[in-house]
Each structure stands twice: as structure tokens, then as C-alpha cells.
Amino acid sequence: MAKFYCKYCGQEFGNVRTLTSAYCIRHPDGPNKGKHTLYEGSEKSKYTCKFCGQQFNNLRSLTSAYCLRHPDGANKGRHSPAL
């Protein structure tokens, strides 16, 4: 069965409908200020932050850490996965 991941928090869902209907604690507008958003890249063994290039074993750890090269400023936001 396919798995779908939120690009903000890395949470895993069985389908896109459930993913996009629930609030995301790591939404860029603030915790639970918006819904989970689909990560449209492929499943990988390593995920790379598109801002800084740091690599992570999974989306959950990537999205949980602040990024030194975030476009809003150093540590003003979290890592974001490259597709």
C-alpha cells in the first residue's frame, strides 16, 4: 500500500484525503494553523533539506529540526525536504 507523508511534519498517512483533512502541528503558519500538506517527492532512504543540504534518515527528523539556511532567517523555520 502506498504511503503519503506530510512535508511539514513527516507524519505518515494511508491516503491523501486523511492527510489533507487534519491539522499539522508543524505548519509554517504555526501549530495547527493549517492542514498537513502532501510531500510530493518519492520515498527515499535519505532525505535532503532543500535549503541547507543536510541529510536525514526520515522526514520526521528532517522536519523537526530548525534550519540554519531557512529563507526567513537562521533557525526561523524548519528544514524542508527536496523532492
* The binder of Zn ion chosen from 4, 5, 36, 39 (CB under 5 A): 36
Beta pairing partners, 66? 78
Which residues have a Cβ under 8 Å from the Cβ of 26 and sit 6 or more positions away? 6, 8, 9, 63, 64, 78
Q: Looking only at residues 5 through 34 of this chain, which bind Zn ion when binding is defined by CB under 5 A?
A: 6, 8-9, 24
State the minimum distance, in angstroms, from the CB of residue 24 to Zn ion.
3
CB nearer to Zn ion: pick between 47 and 49: 49
- Give the interface size with Zn ion as a residue count (CB under 5 A): 10
| Residue 33: C-alpha distances to residues 15, 22, 29, 83 (Å) | 21, 11, 6, 24
Distance separating alpha carbons of residues 15 and 27, to the nearest angstrom: 19
Please identify, using beta-carbon distances, which residue of 2 and 5 lies nearer to Zn ion.
5
Q: Residue 59, interface with Zn ion (CB under 5 A)?
A: no
Report the interface residues with Zn ion, using CB under 5 A.
6, 8-9, 24, 36, 49, 51-52, 67, 79
